[in-house]
Amino acid sequence: MGYAVSWFAVSGKEPEQVLQELGLTPAGETEEVPEAPIVCATLPAGWFLVFSNRTSPLAFSVEPLPALSAGCRVVFCQVEEHTMFSSAACYQDGRRVWHVAHDADKGIYHLETEGELPPEFEGIFRSMKSEQDQAGGEKADVDYIIDVPIELAKAIAGFRHDEDVAGADVEPFRVLEHTTFAAPSRPSTDPPTSRSWWRFW
């Protein structure tokens, strides 16, 4: 079984405000690894993480993220290993700053990029491309390019879905439950995406 998860991390906004805008509240339980449908955690660098562990490919949507990024920065990442798809994006002050996506259905070296990419991108891309080349390129049995968006999101926010949270408590993840959806209704200026995303609510 592969991962089918998504997460975003917020910098510059209090965790309580983030959860209020998303209509989420702590359920009073903690976890060592994120097994509940939705959890949150405070990352070592101060980013506030909201993580979705749902398996439905149609259960998540990025629509609230531009509004959530008002006055702060949000890094978003999605991983769907069943189809070897991954993406990462950054939102700030209501707009999407950059976006990177890999879809193996479009080729092992497929990588879609948009916007003002962070300086970490180039080194990550070169490293993963070299790994793919050495493994046999298009004929390889592994896909290293899927790690480009994942590693880019990690480089910014300090989190990767299949790694422990460095320096965190034994049970760093707080289980969340739904209250009422109260995200701002500010319209998104993002272009339409070609793939459905997951929805928390």
Nearest in space to 60 (alpha carbons), one of 20, 33, 89: 89
Which residues fall within 8 angstroms of residue 95, CB to CB, at 6 or more apart?
66, 69, 189, 190
* More confident: 158 or 193: 158
Which residues fall within 8 angstroms of residue 137, CB to CB, at 6 or more apart?
108, 109
Which pLDDT score is estimated for 187?
Answer: 41
Which pLDDT score is estimated for 62?
Answer: 63
- pLDDT above 90 for 190: no
Q: Which pTM does this prediction carry?
A: 0.85
Contacts 24+ apart (CB under 8 A), 134-137: 137/108, 137/109
d(CA 168, CA 31): 12
| Parallel/antiparallel/unpaired status of strands 85-92 and 95-103 | antiparallel
Residue type, 2: G
Phi, psi for residue 152 in degrees, rounded to 5: -65, -45
Nearest in space to 41 (alpha carbons), one of 173, 175, 200, 162: 173
Phi, psi for residue 36 in degrees, rounded to 5: -70, 160
- pLDDT tens-digit map of 62-107: 678 899 999 999 999 999 999 999 999 999 999 999 999 999 999 9
- Alpha helices for 38-146 (secondary structure H): 64-68, 120-135
Other beta carbons within 10 angstroms of residue 156's beta carbon come to: 20
If you compute the radius of gyration of the chain from its CA atoms, what whole number of angstroms results? 16
Nearest in space to 35 (alpha carbons), one of 153, 157, 172, 146: 172
Which pLDDT score is estimated for 156?
Answer: 97
d(CA 145, CA 129): 7
Which pLDDT score is estimated for 151?
Answer: 98
- pLDDT tens-digit map of 125-153: 999 999 999 999 999 999 999 999 999 99
- pLDDT tens-digit map of 2-59: 899 999 999 999 999 999 999 999 999 999 999 999 999 999 889 999 999 863 433 3
